[in-house]
Amino acid sequence: MKFRYLGNSGLKVSELTYGNWLTHGSQVENDTATRCVRAALDVGISSFDTADVYANTQAETVLGEALKGERRESLEIFTKVYGPTGPKGHNDTGLSRKHITESINGSLTRLQTDYVDLYQAHRYDVETPLDETMETFADLVRQGKVLYIGVSEWNAEQLREAHALARELKIQLVSNQPEYSLLWRVIEDEVVPASAELGISQIVWSPVAQGVLTGKYTVGAELPAGSRATDQKGGAGMIERWLRDDVLDAVAQLEPIAADLGLTQAQLSLAWVLSNENVASAIIGASRPEQVESNAKASGVTLEADVLTRIESIFDGLAETDPRKTQMPSGREA
């Protein structure tokens, strides 16, 4: 496993981060989730990403149990705050001082740790002053509960505003967590250039487009039994946008390229994401330990310029590139 610096900080993270968005506490049993975490540790993954909103806090609990007994100093644990948790009352969501303060205490208890390495604003809160949010984050850093600050799905303007406040408050805003894959490239035109200028890295989610880029879905074939596309609670709604014949035809063209390089399509897709210098880590999920072991082999793979050109030409006109598509909540969900 290779490691990269997170933003302009001295913190190194593994090129692949193990994430438990759609699995722990909901899609897979706890013992399987634990075996997936153990597999991640065995292949050298040291970074683990979760959020209090995942499975309404249960994902953090499962991850905390799975990591119990590990040397804390050897891990980078990331979690997030914003989404509604608990009974989902009027103050159970957003980035207010109240919700952030209560959320970090709950996350630390569930994760069984005294601090998290990276605390991320899961979305931009249009209803809370940014000053209030950043000042609260700064307080958590000074209390030792949080080491670094990150955000998720923020656009370039929001990143600039938050970074300026972070500098004033003398804390480090080091990361953004956007969706990014061969099929979803909306960060490239604005977010990545702004981030590179500010010293912010991307920790990207859905790098294999919810499994579509693995090649498991093909034109005219039935959806594989037990796949995410058939699970209405496990991301089927997100996958269906990619289950078009033109997209699946393009994905099929990755197979010979991957074969020539001795890679699976998933490994190739992960290596493509990691070829972006502003990406510090790509988040992988798993419902089986074998998936973790296979995907880990993407770390350290270098794709030559001609291979990158060939891959990108396949998806020309199919990939979403509009920077306005960065996910933005219109208001709090609670």
Identify which of 205, 216, 326, 319 has the alpha carbon closest to the alpha carbon of residue 270: 205
Left (φ > 0), alpha (ψ -120 to 50) or beta: where does 206 sit?
A: left
- The DSSP secondary structure of 259-325, one letter per residue, reads HHTT--HHHHHHHHHHTSTTEEEEEE--SSHHHHHHHGGGTT----HHHHHHHHHHTTTTSB--GGG
What is the DSSP-derived secondary structure letter of residue 253? Answer: T
- 241, burial (CB in 10 Å: exposed 0-12, middle 13-18, buried 19+): middle
Rounded CA separation 244/98 (Å):
44
Indicate the SS3 state at residue 103.
helix
Angle at 211 between CA 328 and CA 26, to 5 degrees: 75
Catalytic, 54? Answer: yes
**Beta strand 116-121 pairing with 201-204:** unpaired
Task: Collect all residues with Cβ–Cβ distance below 8 Å to 317 and sequence separation of at least 6.
Answer: none
Identified catalytic residue from 18, 54, 148, 217: 54
Residues with catalytic annotation? 54
